[in-house]
Chains A and B, each alone.
Chain A
Amino acid sequence: MAKRTFGNKLGLGFGLTVALTLIMGASSVTALSIVVDAKDDAIREAVDDLGSAEHLTTKAESRISDYRAYLLNGNEEFLNLTAQDREEFLELVVQLRGTLTDPETKALLEAVATTEAQHAAVLQPVIEKRKTITDLQNISQLNATEVGPARETLQKSISALTTKVRADVETARRDSSARATQGIILIIVLGLLAMACGGYIAWRLNRDLRREVGAAVGHIQSSSAELEAAAAQQATGGRDQASAMSEITTTISELLITSRQIAESAQRVSKIAEDTAEAAQTGDATIDQTRASISAIRTQVDQIVQHMLALGEKSQQIGGVVDLVSELAEQTNILAINATIEASGAGEWGRRFAVVAEEIRKLADRTAGSAKEIRALIDDVRGAVNTTVMATEIGAKSVDAGSRQFDDATSSFRRIAQLVATTNDATREIELSTKQQTTAVEQVNVAASDTARVTRETEASAVQTKQTAAHLSTLSGDLLDLVGTGRR
């Protein structure tokens, strides 16, 4: 019964009690039926058998009276009454044979029948003889000496039968009384058993009620206390939450203002991005013009390089010519000196020739000096040309590098333009998102206000819950008092 509910236990207890009551009732009905049957048998025996037996006496006495009356006055009417009495007597005998069950009683009944037949046999000659007697003085002629003993025998047998039947009736009454006593004892025992079971069930129910319901109510009481504490804490938390929600609402309002400012800023940024995109498109055209200019510069630089290289080649050719002139001048110088030497040993003509040769040598020296100067100038020109070519090539390379860098700058600029376009799109998305965010923040603000309201309601509910928990705790104490466990 430990795992069953208290309702089940209560139902089971009532069921057991009802079952015992039904058993007791059925047993009582059965016992009463038995007692009634026994009493009925006793009463029937008393009424039927004892009555019939007593009636046998009555009929015997009535017949005796009738045939005595016949014997006294000789009236046929009494003789008929005697015969009628005897028939009724025999009918009673036959009736008693059907109702009697005890063999001894039946034997007594047969003895009554036998004595009655003997009495009738003894009486019949007397009656016949009376029919012949007309004078009552002669009554002594009847000689009815055997009738008296036969009558007494009959009366004794009837009396014995009656006594036996009465004794049987008494026995039946006693039996029925004993059965009734047994039934009473059985009913009392069953009643005591039912009372004991009911008491046990009541004790178990009371114990379980005190134990389980008491424990449950105790738990309810402790839970109520905890609930009260939790409700108090919830109320405190609700107040804190309400104040926090108020701060959140304020913050969200500020956030809403900030979101609107961000939306306006995003809108301005979008406008600036559009202007930047237009400027980038304008710059794109400028870049194309600049690229054409750079290409023209590159072509001019190439032409300069070609011209300078041609100048270098011409200078080299001039140098070759100057070298040839210098060679000729040097050779002339040598020849002039040798001519002077040869002329020195040739007398007066030789001296004149030596003068001419010396002049030739001087011219050759001057020529050589001029050639040397020209050579130096040409070397300077070639150096300048080389320097110019190198500078021009460096410039060309710089133009190439600048062109590449300009290409890079162009690609970067176009990338910037694309990024500006992307930035424009992103800014528009930011603007849209910020507007959506502003709408969302407004919704959040509304939700926060609702939440603050709900929080205040929750706080009120928590206070109500606290009061209810306190009331429930008091009720639990009262219920514990009712159960009998007592307050904890």
Chain B
Amino acid sequence: MGDSSLVFRAGPLLCALRLDEVIETMRPLATHPLAGTPAFVTGICIMRGIPTLVVAVARLLGGAGADVSRFIAVRTERGPVAFATGDIHGVRTVSTSSAGRHEALLGDAPARLIAAVGTIDAAPVLLLQSMRLVPDEVWAAAASLAVPS
């Protein structure tokens, strides 16, 4: 058994987010590059009137860029963040198990991002957790950018 998750594609990978972490989906918005941020932070956009960081999920997980067809607004502990992803496959139930949380596989740092690894039709699905996704220095850079405005 598993929770209902929003399944989407990030480059070659299938990813999923729990619906309670998802605010909404939308088309990609205009994004402004942001200095002093990691490579997976594409920049900042204005979502619903609020400056929002944009994180490229494919770059975050695999290190390589991929086509962006959707933005997914997710909740974090410091506010909403826009995930730049590929096509959205819909709301699915991702089956996870304790064996899926493999320490040797997930490691320390990614473990903060990937909650578990599930499967859909025998295809691996990375179940992401968005709460601690963005480092503090990124938020500081976004804050410094937001102060003048």
Which residue numbers of A lie inside 8 Å of B, CB to CB? 330, 333-334, 337-338, 340-342, 344-345, 354, 358, 361-362
Contacts and interface: CB of A to CB of B under 8 A. Distances in A.
Contacts of A362: 90
A358 B25 contact: no
Interface in B58-117: 70, 88, 90-91
Given A337-B25, A341-B22, A342-B24, 14 more contacts: A330-B27, A334-B25, A334-B26, A337-B90, A340-B91, A341-B24, A341-B91, A344-B4, A344-B20, A345-B19, A345-B20, A358-B91, A361-B90, A362-B90
B126 interface: no
Interface in B1-45: 4, 6, 19-20, 22-27
B49 to A, nearest CB: 18
Contacts of B24: 338, 341-342
A440 B84 CA distance: 108
Contacts of A354: 91
A122 to B, nearest CB: 221
A337 B20 contact: no
In which size bucket is the chain B interface?
Answer: 10 to 19
Contacts of B19: 340-341, 344-345
A338 B4 contact: no
Nearest 3 interchain pairs by C-beta = A344-B19, A340-B91, A338-B24
25 contacts: A330-B27, A333-B88, A334-B25, A334-B27, A334-B70, A337-B6, A337-B25, A337-B88, A337-B90, A338-B24, A340-B19, A340-B90, A341-B6, A341-B19, A341-B24, A341-B25, A341-B91, A342-B24, A344-B4, A344-B19, A344-B20, A344-B91, A345-B19, A345-B20, A358-B90
A344 B17 CA distance: 13
Nearest to B19: A344
A337 B91 contact: yes
Contacts of A361: 90
Nearest to B27: A334
B52 to A, nearest CB: 16
Contacts of B88: 333, 337
A338 B90 contact: no
A333 B19 CA distance: 16
Contacts of A358: 90-91
A16 B134 CA distance: 169
Nearest to B70: A334
A362 B23 CA distance: 21
B35 to A, nearest CB: 31
Contacts of B70: 334
A63 B25 CA distance: 231
B2 to A, nearest CB: 13
